[in-house]
Structures are given as C-alpha cells and as structure tokens.
Amino acid sequence: MDPDRLKTCLMAIRSGELSVADGLDRLTTLPFEDVGDALVDHHRGLRQGAPEVVFGEGKTSDQILRIAEGLLNAGSNMLATRLDADKASALMKVFPDAEYDPLGRTLTIVRHPPQSTGLGTVLVVCAGTSDLPVAREAATTARMFGNAVEELVDVGVAGLHRLLAHLDRLRSASVIIAVAGMEGALPSVIGGLVAAPVIAVPTSVGYGAALGGVAALLGMLNSCAGGITVVNIDNGYGAACAANRINRRPQP
C-alpha cells in the first residue's frame, strides 16, 4: 500500500485541486489497483533485467511471436520454456539474437543482461542423464533471473562416490536444486550433507511403478533429511523460481 499517494490525493481534495467526483473515481479503483501496484512493487526487484516468461506448450509459434514482439518492444528480456525445436527455429528467424537450448527446450532473448541479484550460487544437481532436460530448464531459468548458477550431472545415489567427490561444491552453494527421477533419493542424500536449502524436483524419468514421476515425488516428500522442499514433477521452472525467491532476499 502507498499511504503517500493516498495522502496526496486527499490533500488535493481538501485543497479543491481535485473535485470530489474525480477523487471518488480515483479512490474507487484504488483498492485493487493498490494490490496491483503492490504486486508491481514486489516485482520490481525481479524486473531489473529479469525476463518475462512464456510457457511455450500449447501455443503456436505465431502466438509466441506476437507475445515476444510485445515484450521486447517494452524493453524486457524473454524466456520461453517447453518450446519444441520447430517453434524455436521459427522464432530464431525473426530474432537472430535468440538462443535455443534443445535439451532444456528453452529459448532466451537477452537485451539487457540480468543484474546479479542473488546472495550466492544456485547449484543444480541431477541424478541421471535422463534428468538433464529438467535440470537444464531450472538452470536457464535461474540464470535469466540474475542468479549465478552451477550444474552437476549424473551423480545418482547408486554411485555415491561420484556425488561425494563434489562435496565442496555442494557445501558452498547458496541454494541447491536436486533433480531426480526413479526413486528420487538424491535430495535426501544431499540434504544430509549440506545445511543450505534443498529444492527437490521429481522427474517423470522411469517406467512402470515410477507412475510418471509420482514415485519420485512421494520419495522426496517423505525424505528422512529434515527441511527438503518439493515442487511438481518435471517442474524445473518452478524450482528455479523458488531458488530465486530464496537467493534474492533483501539484506537485513
């Protein structure tokens, strides 16, 4: 809420600068505008170079093109997620500075490099190479929000030595995004090794009783390591948003 703005308005009414009718008009719309302003306020931090995000699935390349033009004209960067290669190549003809990652299925257009906003490094860890698309979506998203991001691949719990060999990187991260399918045990093991926040992302990798990622999801929700939190199956984007919320908190 913005008491200053309200005060200004009331004083203008008192002084006669603003008629009661106009004041009425303006104030009638205040409550929700206000909430909206507030939202804009709290988005402001994000928007110092932060991208607008377009969910590419279920949109035609024409639709995305129009959205992209609007965003870029307004001076924003853009991140499109879940974008298949065909749509991406259509967009890249129009925006030669776009970059497409076929693995993570993200397309990024950066006109104003995102300012570094985070307190530390976001480390994206994934259990198997099949989990890479989700991990990559998380990494690209976190970077576009201005975070320093590192990636660690193929460190599943059935080969502990590979994970333990990177203990230092795990322990120096500010936030860890742990991506795993199948039994989803990776975040539990990491959660026992570090004190930092761990965001667990179950993937739909696996078959049969993996139930499309539900097995990994349940495993992560029941982690025996205290303080692991979980996002939806294959939701690399959401994990990055959560990591960004954590990493960019204002200094006390």
- CB atoms under 10 Å from CB of 185, counted, come to 19
The binder of its own copies chosen from 31, 48, 103, 115 (CB under 8 A): 31
Q: Is 122 in the site for its own copies (CB under 8 A)?
A: no
- Closest separation in Å from C-beta 205 to its own copies: 8
Q: Binding string to its own copies for residues 181 to 200, with x set by CB under 8 A, is what?
A: xxxxx--xx-xxxxxxxxx-
Closer CB to its own copies, 20 or 96, in the complex: 20
Residues 216-245 that bind its own copies (CB under 8 A): 216-235, 237-245
The binder of its own copies chosen from 101, 119, 151, 169 (CB under 8 A): 119
CA 224 – CA 83 distance, rounded (Å): 36
Stretch that binds its own copies, among 25-33, 69-77, 91-99, 105-113 (CB under 8 A): 25-33
Closer CB to its own copies, 74 or 96, in the complex: 74
Reading the block at residue 47, the tokens are 């928007």
- List Cβ neighbours of 169 (8 Å cut-off, separation of 6 or more): 123, 150, 152
Reading the block at residue 235, the tokens are 């939701």
CA distances from 52 to 5, 43, 111, 161 (A): 28, 11, 12, 40
The binder of its own copies chosen from 75, 96, 113, 208 (CB under 8 A): 208
CA 16 – CA 63 distance, rounded (Å): 48
- Closest separation in Å from C-beta 97 to its own copies: 25
Closer CB to its own copies, 98 or 183, in the complex: 183
Q: Is 85 in the site for its own copies (CB under 8 A)?
A: no
The binder of its own copies chosen from 88, 171, 178, 236 (CB under 8 A): 171
CA 95 – CA 171 distance, rounded (Å): 40
Using DSSP's 3-state secondary structure scheme, residue 212 falls into helix
Q: Is 71 in the site for its own copies (CB under 8 A)?
A: no
Closer CB to its own copies, 113 or 168, in the complex: 168
- Find tokens 């939190």 and name the residue: 229
Q: Is 60 in the site for its own copies (CB under 8 A)?
A: no
- Are residues 46 and 145 in contact, defined by beta-carbon separation less than 8 angstroms? yes
- Find tokens 């026992």 and name the residue: 192
- Closest separation in Å from C-beta 96 to its own copies: 27
CA 82 – CA 167 distance, rounded (Å): 32
Q: Is 123 in the site for its own copies (CB under 8 A)?
A: no
